[in-house]
Amino acid sequence: MKKRPAFVVTSSMHIPDGFLSTPVWATLDVVSAPAVAWVTRRAQRDTQDHRIPLLGVMGAFVFAAQMVNFPVGPGTSGHLVGGALLTVVLGPAAASLVLTAILVLQALIFQDGGVLALGANIFNMALAGVAAAYLSYRLWGQASRSGAIFAAGALSVMTSASFALGQLLISGVPMTGGVFWASLGLFVISALIEGAITVAAVRSIERLNPAWVSGLQPESSRTVTGVALAALLLVVLGTLIASVAPDGIQRLTAQGVDSTTWLQRTMGGLAGIAMIFALCYLGGKLKSRRRSA
């Protein structure tokens, strides 16, 4: 008999219904719906007919691959999450689409994540997670392929999990400092595991047929990619800071308003995040314009 691992490190942060406050889930549903439409259009544009069954089967593959336990220490094992693997194999738009389909099925049929919280889960995993994986793969792909794939896996898990944690905190799910740091530590561990598993899985797929992983070539515009990745990571950090210490950002955005209702805290947090993102985006645009001029 195979010994079951005593402890499985799992990093899937599917938020069920009932945890997010109404402004949080409603905002993320409103944000995710057009984003999914956009991603679908992009995927449709660069997908030939024969790829439609492929996308579906790849979704089923990720489900199944999550059942394979990777031993990572005595009595401990982890498993593939798969966002970064899909991004490297299928490209970002198709990967987002496949992950969205998986999340819809998980919410409705497998009770893994809520229906109202679907927008939040799609945002965390299918949009932000894939963006983090794609940007890191593009940014570091030329320097070191394995390193880039490792970073793609680790950063995608870290991004999704941190966003989920931030959204829970902004919604007012209470958490003591100890629990907060413990969960961040757990995220770091599972992020490192996901990075290692993604590298091993991509290597073993490439050994069978290198053509399968050529879907995404690292391109040259590294500055824009780097700025975009930095912006994304800053937003992640901003969400966490906003959720733990909302007062600081609130002071920045709404001067003198000395109320701590959760609506204002949420708004303060979101405004802070939007500000950081806008600054980084503008910076990236300016820089790329100067380069192309």
Partner 1 sequence: MHHLVIDRWSRGSSSLHQRDPRAKLATLLAFLIVLSTTRPAAQWAFAAYAILLIVAVNRARLPILGLAGRAALVLPFSATFALLTWWSGDSLRALALAEKSFLSGMAALLLVATTPLTGWTAALESWRVPRMLILVIQFVYRYLFVIAEQAQRMRWAALCRGSHKAGGFRLAAGLVGVLFARSWQRADGIYHAMLARGFRGRFVPAAPPPFRAADVLFFSACLAGCLAVRILL
Q: Looking only at residues 96 through 135 of this chain, which bind partner 1 when binding is defined by CB under 8 A?
A: 97-98, 100-102, 104-105, 107-112, 114-116
Q: Using CB under 8 A, which of the segments 49-57, 131-139, 220-228, 245-253 binds partner 1?
A: 49-57
Q: What is the largest CA-CA distance in the chain?
A: 66
Among 34, 174, 210, 256, binds partner 1 (CB under 8 A): 174
> What's the closest the beta carbon of residue 100 comes to partner 1, in angstroms?
6
Decide: is 24 part of the binding site for partner 1 (CB under 8 A).
Answer: no
Q: Distance (Å, rounded) from C-alpha 250 to C-alpha 245?
A: 9
Q: For residues 193-212, which are near partner 1 according to CB under 8 A?
A: 196-197, 200-201, 203-205, 207-209, 212
* Binder among 5, 9, 11, 14 for partner 1 (CB under 8 A): 14
175 binds partner 1, rule: CB under 8 A: yes
Burial classification of residue 64, based on how many CB atoms lie within 10 Å of its CB (0-12 exposed, 13-18 middle, 19 or more buried): exposed
216 binds partner 1 (CB under 8 A): no
Show the tokens assigned to 221: 């515009």
CA gap 125, 100 in Å, rounded: 8
- Asked if 271 is part of the footprint of partner 1 (rule: CB under 8 A), the reply reads no
Is 25 one of the binding residues for partner 1 (CB under 8 A)? Answer: yes
CA distance 227 to 84: 20
Q: Are 194 and 84 in contact (CB under 8 A)?
A: yes
Supply the minimum distance, in Å, between the C-beta of residue 183 and partner 1.
10
Shortest CA distance to 29 belongs to which of 12, 13, 15, 42?
Answer: 15
Residue 230 lies near partner 1 (rule: CB under 8 A):
no
- Stretch touching partner 1 by CB under 8 A, among 46-54, 128-136, 229-237, 250-258: 46-54
- In three-state secondary structure terms, 47 is coil
Secondary structure class of 14 (helix, strand, coil): coil
Residue 257 DSSP code: -
